[in-house]
Structure 1
Amino acid sequence: MPPNPSPLTAPTAEDFRAWHRVQSAALAHDRPGEPVLSATALQAKLTTTGNRSRLLLWLVRNANEEPVATATLRLFNEPGRSHLAEVRMTVHPAYRRLGTGSRLLSTVTEAAAEAGCRSVVTEVMAGTPHEGFLATRDFQPVLRLTWQRLALDDVPDRIHKLPDVPHPGYRLTSWEGVVPDALAESFADARRGMDDMPTGAVDFGEVRWDVDAVREAAEVIARRGERLLTVAAVDALDGSVAGYTELVIPAEGAGTAQQYDTAVLPAHRGHGLGLWVKAEMLRRVREEFPQLSAVQTDNADDNRHMLALNTALGFRPLRRTVEYQLTLGRR
């Protein structure tokens, strides 16, 4: 009989090492060749959150105290998203099809219901048995995503010239970490450029950005030991942020960087600002982080504009995933 999952309320260093073993084994099996987070980086991600959300953790061990599965449940504290929970669950390849995943998923979704959530979302690789596993448990596919990867050695030559191409009425600026005070208000406003991001049928809710929220998001990344870089296009007339792109550099300054948000406010679209800021970001990281090998990003399949923009920059398809959603109380 599968072990009873119980929440990890006071994780130890050994718990995090065990968690890392499960994650590493699953990644090697499911996505061979992709980089594995270090144990230190993984622990930082599991233990560092801001005021807008919190994480509940489960680590399942068998009768021999071997780690066999992990799960996280992200609960949102902000009013516009308190109805939604995000689940990330991993079962060690050697212990699959033994019932552990079923019991763990049931435990985690019950915890979401007890927290007052109405929807649970999770993400799995497209075309794998994980899709059938969720479908038989009343989860519905709500968003399809394409992940892309850019090898920094393969950036097309023409992209290196784009930052020097003038865009009348705009100028480029950049910063690391927390946004400078002079741009804080307009940068928070520029987050509205993500409001029309395709989210499929996900019960996404409303993300409200203000200066405090923008600063806190950057501070959380810093507490994880990572580095947040931002490049923005600024309106030359009033000095406000018209569009921006963000990249998170691993703590080691090497390996694969993760693309975060890229957005242009509706009033400033049609001027090539998205390509401009992303090209400048690539120029900067190639110069300042020579040990970085690649940048990774994901976009909804419906976001054809951003997928095409990334392809123009040299990104290539890496994998496809599907977000599934469970409406609590249906079963």
Structure 2
Amino acid sequence: MPLKQLTPANLSTQDLQDWCSVLNEMTSTDMPNEPRWQPERLRDYLAENMADEYRQAFIYRDESSGDMLGHANLLIFGGKHRDTGVLELFTRPSARGKGVGKALLQAVAECAKQRECENLAVEVIATTPAVGFYDQLGFRRDVVEQRHLLRWDEVDWDKVQEAAGRVAAGYRLEYYSESLPEELLEPYAQLKAYLRGSAEPIALTTDRRGSTDVDRLRDSLQTLRRRGMRSHVMVAISEPYEKVVGLTELVVSEQRPTRADQYDTVVAPEHKSYGLALTMKARLLTELRGAEPQLVDVQTWTAEDARDIKWVNSQLGFVHDVDWYEYETSVEDLLHNLAQ
């Protein structure tokens, strides 16, 4: 049997090495300028979840040689998003067109159905062959995100440091790495809840990401650490009331240590005219420069019409390089299309 399903924690050392090899071979072919994956703590990255989440791994090996030709993993959320699963699927370029991807997708869909998961979502880079693969199988392109990159060796640090120092009167910035003080968790979560309810275009496309409940936020930060991902957070405080009014987040993973991933950036609506978003992001970059000296770049994603955050990013030197598509389909429709 070439295809095997198992929990990520039960992947062997050889499985993990091969898993990394598939990722890097795909990256080398489809996105040669992207950083390569490292095997360090890969098991933690794949296996560690929040308490109410469920994850399964799927590997496909050549029956003759035993070589891993592709792999997939399925994450099913807990809480109000438990009807949705997120799929990641990768094959070696040499295995494309040979049924490996479809076999992995079939196994993922059947597992999702058994778990009473109704929908599957997947993110696809617009310039890769995966676009045609998911289009053919009936996935809907629900969201288009624009990725922007900030290349470390092109940063105008004088300009960034100047922006980092422009803190409006009545505010202060506080930097945290790895965790947040307990007293900040509730106001921090409340501010993220505003982001989820906002009708404005933002640097985020789905409220499945992040946590707007105190307990889930605490669990989320702990899970990041267990997965080998270091969080860096800048918080804006309104001093008269000691109220959290802005935040911006970055994460650096041990599996791809040369790249930082920008997460949420949000400012409470009544505080948006004071330049806090630019100041927070600039200050966080200056902190990151010392805390993560191995970095090569920072990536962030924005909605197509998110003009405000795009302007902030442009002031810091971020440049749009590629679009990402978020696809979704129902599990029943996918199983039907795979059977055709």
TM-score strictly above 0.5: yes
Residue number in structure 1 paired with 2:100: 100
Label 1:186 to 1:71 Cα distance change in 2 as closer, same or farther (>3 A): same
Name the Cα RMSD after superposition.
2.3
1:1-331 equivalences in 2 (<5 Å):
4-9=2-7, 10-63=10-63, 64-78=65-79, 80-156=80-156, 157-195=158-196, 196=198, 198=201, 209-251=212-254, 255-330=258-333, 331=336
Are the aligned partners of 1:84 and 1:203 in contact in 2 as well (CA < 8 Å)? no
- Rounded to whole Å, the distance in 2 between the matches of 1:260 and 1:266 is 19
For residue 183 of structure 1, what is the amino acid of its counterpart?
A: L
Distance 1:172 1:141 in 2: 38
Q: Counterparts of 2:69 and 2:146 in 1: how far apart (Å)?
A: 29
Deviations 1:51-109 (A, max 9, x none): 1422210011011210001101110111x101111100001111110011112112212
User: 1:206 Cα shift?
Assistant: 9.5
CA distance in 1 between counterparts of 2:12 and 2:297 reads 32
Q: Indicate conservation of the 8 Å contact 2:211/2:217, yes or no.
A: no
How has the CA–CA distance of structure 1 residues 199 and 262 changed in structure 2, closer, same or farther, with 3 Å as cutoff? closer
The whole-number CA distance in structure 2 between the counterparts of 1:125 and 1:253 is 18
Q: 1:12: how far off?
A: 1.1
Asked if the contact 1:146–1:319 (Cα under 8 Å) also holds between the matched residues in 2, the reply is: yes
SS in 2 for 1:270: helix
CA-CA distance at 1:190 after TM superposition: 1.4
Matched residues in 1 for 2:201 and 2:162: separation?
Answer: 30
Deviation at 1:210, TM superposition (A): 2.2
Q: How big is the shift at 1:254?
A: 5.0
Give the whole-Å Cα distance in 2 for the aligned partners of 1:309 and 1:137.
38
Comparing 291-300 with 271-280, greater Cα deviation is found at 291-300
Greater Cα shift, 173-182 or 205-214 = 205-214
Q: Contact (CA 8 Å) 1:59, 1:69: kept in 2 or not?
A: yes
CA-CA distance at 1:324 after TM superposition: 1.0
* Contact 1:173–1:233 (8 Å) recurs in 2: yes
Which region of structure 1 is more displaced relative to structure 2, 274-283 or 51-60? Answer: 51-60
1:328 CA drift (Å):
2.9
* Equivalent position SS for 2:328: strand
Q: Is the 8 A contact 2:37 2:256 kept in 1?
A: no
Q: Secondary structure at the residue paired with 2:329?
A: strand
* Residue aligned with 2:6, SS: coil
User: Take 2:315 and 2:92, find their aligned partners in 1: how far apart are those partners?
Assistant: 37
Residues 21-62 of structure 1: CA distance to partner in whole angstroms, max 9, x if unpaired? 111111111100211121114332101212142221001101
User: Does structure 2 conserve the Cα–Cα contact (< 8 Å) formed by 1:53 and 1:77?
Assistant: yes
Provide structure 1 residue ranges, at least 5 long, that are not aligned to the other structure: none
Moved more, 128-137 or 269-278: 128-137
Query: Measured at CA, do residues 230 and 117 of structure 1 come closer, stay the same or move farther in structure 2, by a change above 3 Å?
Result: same
TM-score by length of 2: 0.89
**Distance of 1:180 and 1:107 partners within structure 2:** 42
1:279 deviates by: 0.5
Cα separation, partners in 2 of 1:85 and 1:183, compared to 1, 3 Å: same
Is contact 2:167–2:276 with CA below 8 Å preserved after alignment?
A: no
Q: Do the aligned residues in 2 keep the contact of 1:189 with 1:209 (CA within 8 Å)?
A: yes
Name the amino acid aligned to 1:6: K
Per-residue deviation, 1:256: 1.6
Instruction: For residue 174 of structure 1, report the CA deviation from its aligned partner.
Output: 1.3
Gaps in structure 2 of 5+ consecutive residues: none
Q: Report the AA paired with residue 57 of structure 2.
A: L
- CA distance in 2 between partners of 1:227 and 1:181 (Å): 18
Range 298-307 or range 311-320, more displaced = 298-307
Aligned pairs, number: 327
For 1:75, the aligned partner's letter is I
* TM-score when normalising by structure 1: 0.91
Q: Secondary structure at the residue paired with 1:49? A: coil
Q: What percentage of residue pairs aligned between the two structures are identical?
A: 28
